[in-house]
Amino acid sequence: SYKGNHIPIDSDEAKSYLQKEKYYGTQILPTALLDVYKTKKESTIEIKKSDENIESLQQAIDEDEQRTINEPIDDSISVSQIQTEKSKKILNRFNYCEQGIQTYSSPKKDVTTLADFIPYKKFVGLANQRIIYEEYAIDYAKQQNDKDKRKQKINYGPTKSLLEKKIIKADRLKPEIITKRRQVQILKAIERVLNQNRYHELIFNFKYFEDKSDEIRDPMGTLFPLWKFSSPYPNRSVTALTWNPTYSDMLIIGYGLYDCAERIQGTIAVFTLNNNHPNNLIHTESTVLSIDCLSSKPYLICVGLMDGDVIVYDISVPSGKAVFTNLSYMCKHLGCVWQVQWCTSSTDQYSRFCSAGSDGKLLRWTCIKGELRQVLVLDLPSATKTTRLDDGTLLTIPGPALALDFHHHQKDIFLVGTEDGKIYKASINDPGIIDTTYDAHDFAVYSIQWSPFHPNIFASCSADSTVKIWHEKLAECLMRFDLCTSLQDICWSPFTSTLFAVAGADGKVYIFDIHSNKLEPICEQLLTNELGKTCTKIAFNSIHPILLAGDETGWTNCLKLSPNLRKKAKIRKGIEFPQNYEPEFDKLVQELARTIADNTIYDILNVQTNDNED
């Protein structure tokens, strides 16, 4: 062990040792270690002596004391000078030990185990004039929105009372805003009363009028005109039309132009039957081509636009709030969205809808947290559009999808019609797989719809002036009707299983009833007197016996069906039927079975279950 003593640095003994070292220029105690240090309380000099040289050290100290006994002590030496004059700090065993003793030796590891894996990700980008323009438009809209928010903020000051704040706020608000917030309900009630008095005769005819002439010209029928709804803006066509599934007196109409060369804004108008002025107007960036309303949430509508975008709006808000939008411009359609339709089942947690575009893609969109997330369901091939590359490879161009309809009972099964006249049957559960292909028409298929009474029957209309009725198990159509004009839309009647309506390019509405006449329509109604104007969209009301028909001039006509156009199947007396007997289903099966001379066709038509049913 080592022994030592601590000498205060300001003491006489310490100064004498320092004077001797300065005088001789050498170290007085060669075998001792001199350590100079300062603490917070006091500064000391620690002299450490070894047991082996204790006697020699003591003799050297006595000789030095005798030599310097008469020498004066320099009091001017300070602590700082002592520390600066010290040439080197010598290590000792009190504050120093070898590295191998105090350092923990870490085990050896491979370098690769200490480094994180570097992720690799492929990125493919596209920059063209459209994407650049849309990014600038989004940034400009955001700047305008921030500017409006700054204008709405009112600084009342820290010393204003509550009454003074209310007075300042009322002074700064515009009169029309105050009226809208406080008197909108009163104005709507007054408007409803005035419209009821103004259109009293139309309301009476809507409820009670029946055309007695149907008894004479049976089975021919008529369409009685009721209300007419005009476009909010001139030179706009009716490009989309649908009824609200919950509120039977509410209709939603989309306006725009079919000419892709003219880039105009589209409009969505929400009407009620007792008011020819829209209750709500929603403006879009381009023409509205398709609209569908969600049955479980009747305030939500999905909209397909001409620029390839899809948006979900909330029509309960007066300005029409866009609640779900597509944030990524790389994921939307590259062409017009011709058809959108909700495909949400009761087991789905989120609302979903599908869209068919002119780029040949069928996309499924899911509404999650204010945005739309898409999944590719089907990429349609084209049977007519092909091109040959320089190396001789034959490349097939995707065929534009123009029509789409989902099964009424099985929401995963759908039909899609293309521009080259093909109809494809597929399922959402099997993306990229086409179950059945129908060589339906010679030209573009504009509309497809499943029958509401038979799960396996659907009808289609095309630009080749034909209407065809199909069974999903048969490759050939069951019935065919030829007209002298291009057909734009088709819709089955919700009252009679054998009746459907077709919109013609000559401005007429054609109504067929295969129970009464299998060759010609039983009713023709001209909507517009302008030459060359097309009847674009039609839609039956699910509760009331009325039909909506929109044309290219921007007018939408509400027409009431005469009694001959809504005859229901009669149950024959004296015959016992099974418990689940449906007269409309049996009526449609019998009429279709008579068109084909085959004994097995009735058994095929009489099956009510679908092949893909789980």
Judge whether 413 and 425 are in contact, CB under 8 Å.
yes
Helix (H, G, I), strand (E, B) or coil at 403: strand
pTM: 0.67
What tens digit of pLDDT does each residue of 347-369 get? 777 888 999 998 888 999 988 88
The three-state DSSP-derived secondary structure of 470-506 is EECCCCCCCEEEECCCCEEEEEECCCCCCEEEEEECC
Contact 510, 545 (CB under 8 A): no
Instruction: Tell me the two tokens of residue 344.
Output: 């949400």
- What torsion, rounded to 10 degrees, do the Cα atoms 371, 375, 381, 385 define? 30
C-beta separation of 521 from 587 below 8 A? no
Mean pLDDT by 10 residues, the chain (614 residues): 57 76 62 41 42 53 56 49 51 57 60 65 79 86 79 51 56 57 75 83 86 83 90 90 91 90 86 86 91 90 91 84 78 87 79 89 87 86 62 69 90 90 90 88 92 91 92 90 91 92 92 90 85 88 92 91 85 63 84 79 73 45
Find the helix or strand (DSSP H, E) in which 82 lies: helix 79-85
Q: Report which of 300, 294, 291, 304 is spatially closest to residue 245, judged by C-alpha positions.
A: 294
Give ∠ CA 302-306-308 in degrees, rounded to 5: 75
Secondary structure (3-state) at 273: coil
Question: Could you give the strand order of the β-sheet that contains 310-314, starting from the edge strand earlier in sequence?
Answer: 288-293, 300-305, 310-314, 321-325, 371-379, 361-368, 352-357, 337-342
Token pair recorded at residue 540: 């039956």
3-state secondary structure (DSSP) of residue 223: strand
Give one DSSP letter per residue of 309-367, joined into a string.
-EEEEETTSTT-EEEEE---TTSS-SS-EEEEEE---TT-SS-EEEEEETTSEEEEEEE
DSSP one-letter string for 85-105: H---PPP-SSS---HHHHS--
* 497 close to 451: Cβ distance less than 8 angstroms: yes
Euclidean distance between CA atoms 243 and 252, whole angstroms: 6
Round to whole Å and give the CA distance between 525 and 140. Answer: 48
497/454 Cα distance (integer angstroms): 8
Using alpha carbons, select from 281, 367, 286, 296 the residue that is nearest to residue 325.
367
Residue found under tokens 């020498």: 71
Longest dimension (CA), the chain: 155
Nearest residue to 270 (alpha-carbon basis) of 253, 256, 285, 286? 253
Q: Identify the residue whose tokens are 């010609």.
A: 520
Please give the C-alpha separations between residue 456 and each of 46, 267, 354, in angstroms, as whole numbers.
Answer: 106, 36, 21
Structure tokens at 612: 């893909």
Give the per-residue pLDDT at 607: 76
Domains in the chain (CATH in brackets) are 3-102 (no CATH), 230-380 (2.130.10.10)
Q: Specify the pLDDT at position 49.
A: 42
Distances (CA, A) of 43 to 11, 33, 48, 535: 11, 17, 16, 106
DSSP 3-state of 578: coil
Per DSSP, the three-state class of 415 is strand
pLDDT in tens, 179-214: 566 677 787 788 888 888 888 888 888 888 888 888
Angle in degrees, 0-180, between the axes of helices 175-198 and 200-208, rounded to the nearest 10: 60
Q: Tokens 């060669």 label which residue?
A: 30
**What are the DSSP calls for 458-474, one per residue?**
EEEEETTSEEEEEETT-
Q: Is 38 helix (H, G, I), strand (E, B) or coil?
A: strand
- The closest of 314, 365, 369 to 340, measured between CA atoms, is 365
Cα 597 from Cα 578, distance rounded (Å): 27
